[in-house]
Amino acid sequence: MHYDLIIVGGGLVGAGLAAALPDKRIALIDAKLPSQDDPRLFALNYGSCQFLQHLGLWPMLAAHAAPIHQVHVSYQGRFGAVRLTREDAHLPTLGHVIPARFIEAALHDKLASSIHITLYRPAKLISLHQQEGRVTLTLDTAIGQKILHAPLVIGADGTESTVRSQLNIPITVVDYHQSAIVTRTTLKRSHHHIAYERFVDNGAIAMLPLVGNECATIWTAEKKVIAHLMSLSDDDFLQALQKEFGYRLGRLERCQVRHQFPLRMVRAERSIADSVILLGNALHTLHPIAAQGFNLAVYEVATLIDSMKEKVDLQQALLQTQKQQAKSIGLSHRLSQLFSRHSLLAGFIPFGMVGLDLMPTLKTKCLQEMMGRSGRVPSLLLSANE
């Protein structure tokens, strides 16, 4: 079977790319069937939310999306804080927090109703070969092997990417020796749409607004600390969270099921190999501390789509994404190191936070850099009024 484009990986990145290209005949390959049990909670910046708007998904997501009006960053036991607001960014919101399973469900409905997308799911990639501008993929499916052809293939198949492995692209791995707990916490009062990032002695606690009086809680720390926290009863865990985070959100009432994820950075040494491009976690898996990973992937998808529509050379498009990659990867990696209890610079952080909080022009510039809104912004990340 011949297609205009083959996408390997039916997660949020691969499915989002397929949904954004209605004028191409696409094969979407996914190793797994859709599920409704994804515990991840995404903090999407303003541009990523506009991307979902352009796909026509927002009406299905709005009821589950909590806006972020302010980000509050502090360091436990030390003076100083940074407050980044929607007014600083000159935007109606800084973004929204949405449970991943709702985005996945909306994308699944979109793909299922599309006549230009053929879904191969579940299907396993067995081999990938390139020759004279044509890529040939062999799949193992429930009804036997399938052979597909296309001039361009996208590898969006996650951290353990089979596409990347087939291409023999080397990776750099940084083990942070940390894990993250992800859960939902019910509050006694409103969060007022403030997202908190609270750095503690050996990690960080993010409390991000959800719909209603709930917060997405992401607690990162050394593996032994997280193992201990996972072993606690619900009441004891809530007490530990309250003690470490403090009372900026008032009294915490209860937490839901806790999920644990190991943390490491995985970065492919190149993003393109002839007619195959890597995107998302297949290209770079980041520490969650600055919520850069998924937002960076959306930026890459939107840039790639612009290049296809404008018939720009893919190498030029990838050069544009590399600048944002350097910013996002550098930010998440440096923060994960800087706020470590072993960092010699940790004692100087409060002075920097106080200084930044007093400089609105610098705050605006920082927000633009973090949100991929400096330089040329991909069209799918802009609102209709921009």
Domains of the chain: total: 1
Where residue 17 sits, what CATH number does that domain have?
3.50.50.60
Residue 243 falls within a domain, yes or no? Answer: no
Mean pLDDT for 229-247 is 97
Residue 202 falls within a domain, yes or no? Answer: no
pLDDT at res. 127: 96
Tens-place pLDDT, residues 192-226: 999 999 988 778 899 999 999 999 999 999 999 99
Residue 129 falls within a domain, yes or no? Answer: yes
Q: What is the pLDDT confidence band of residue 97, given thresholds at 50, 70 and 90?
A: very high
Residue 345 falls within a domain, yes or no? Answer: yes
Tens-place pLDDT, residues 1-21: 999 999 999 999 999 999 999
Tens-place pLDDT, residues 299-356: 889 988 988 887 666 666 666 665 655 555 555 545 555 444 444 334 434 434 444 4
Q: Which domain holds residue 308?
A: 5-172+264-381
pTM of the prediction?
0.88
Which of 34-48, 199-213, 223-237, 266-280 has the largest mean confidence? 223-237
pLDDT at res. 353: 41
Residue 26 falls within a domain, yes or no? Answer: yes
pLDDT at res. 347: 40
**Helix (H), strand (E), coil (C) string for the chain:** CECCEEEECCCHHHHHHHHCCCCCCEEEECCCCCCCCCCCEEEEEHHHHHHHHHCCCHHHHHHHCEEECEEEEEECCCCCEEEEEHHHHCCCCCEEEEEHHHHHHHHHHHHHCCCCEEEECCEEEEEEEEECCEEEEEEEECCEEEEEEECCEEECCCCCCHHHHHCCCCEEEEEEEEEEEEEEEEECCCCCCEEEEEEECCEEEEEEEECCCEEEEEEEEEHHHHHHHHHCCHHHHHHHHHHHHCCCCCCEEEECCCEEEEEEEEEECCCEECCEEECHHHCEECCHHHCCHHHHHHHHHHHHHHHHHCCCCHHHHHHHHHHHHHHHHHHHHHHHHHCCCCCCCHHHHHHHHHHHHCCHHHHHHHHHHHCCCCCCCCHHHCCCCC
Tens-place pLDDT, residues 265-276: 899 999 989 999
Residue 220 falls within a domain, yes or no? Answer: no
pLDDT at res. 358: 45
Average pLDDT, the chain: 86
Mean pLDDT for 120-127 is 95
Residue 211 falls within a domain, yes or no? Answer: no
Residue 205 falls within a domain, yes or no? Answer: no
